[in-house]
Amino acid sequence: MSVAQSDPALLDKLVMANRILYDQGVVDGFGHISVRHDSVPGVFLLSCNRAPGLVVRGDIDCFDLDGASVSDSSNRPYLERFIHSEIYRARADVIAVVHSHSPNVIPFGVTGQRLKPIFHMAGFLGGGTAHYDIRDASGNTDLLVRNGELGKYLATALGAHSCVLMRGHGSTTVGASIEQVVYRAIYAEVNARLQSQALGLGPVTYLSEEEAQLAATAIDGQIGRCWDLWQRRIGPIES
């Protein structure tokens, strides 16, 4: 199977999403974003082992739900591709996945505190974040989700949430489109920063579950506005 069989516009959008996540400070040399193939069930698109800020079209490979490459390429894959494969296996509603180590989220993962929506831009956090500790599944490790078994454990921890915090590691966010998951990954990081600040001032009033749901619905219709702005900062991408 060749990645050329996927919609070229989807491929371009995934490359752009990699660049945006780097430009917005969600990923650095590490972290990744994937999207389900537009026409082949059980297959998703993910860059090879490349810093997201440097990803080009030719880096995008196809993987199956066991995390095995089904592309005609000899590119080295990301070690943690099982994060993506097992979430797609577990969640039919998920179309795109972001994994990052964005810094403001880390303190929540190590204290077991949940991210909760501190403002309307983060209504998607309405149910609170899920929590995952790799040590519960596998004892002492290098913290990386290196195989399908760990990926399954992570997907189970995620449950029906939109974001799971990974103790001592980072977070993984899911969405129904590339634009939505990029938005969520960016605003999970912003919410984490603001929530930490607010907790230092005193007791926090979060959005109620109903407020969060209403806010998320309102924002979902306007994500394109953010996407246009984020995209503008990237400029043309070499092929």
Cβ atoms of residues 71 and 62 within 8 Å: yes
Any idea what the Cα angle at residue 35 is, between residues 31 and 37, rounded to 5°? 145
C-alpha distances (whole Å) from 119 to each of 103, 160, 227, 230 are: 19, 21, 20, 21
Active site residues: 80
49 torsion bin: left (phi>0), alpha (psi -120 to 50), beta (else): beta
If you write DSSP's letter for every residue of 170-202 in order, what string do you get? EEEEEESSHHHHHHHHHHHHHHHHHHHHHHHHS
d(CA 56, CA 67): 21
If you write DSSP's letter for every residue of 154-165 in order, what string do you get? HHHHHTT-SEEE
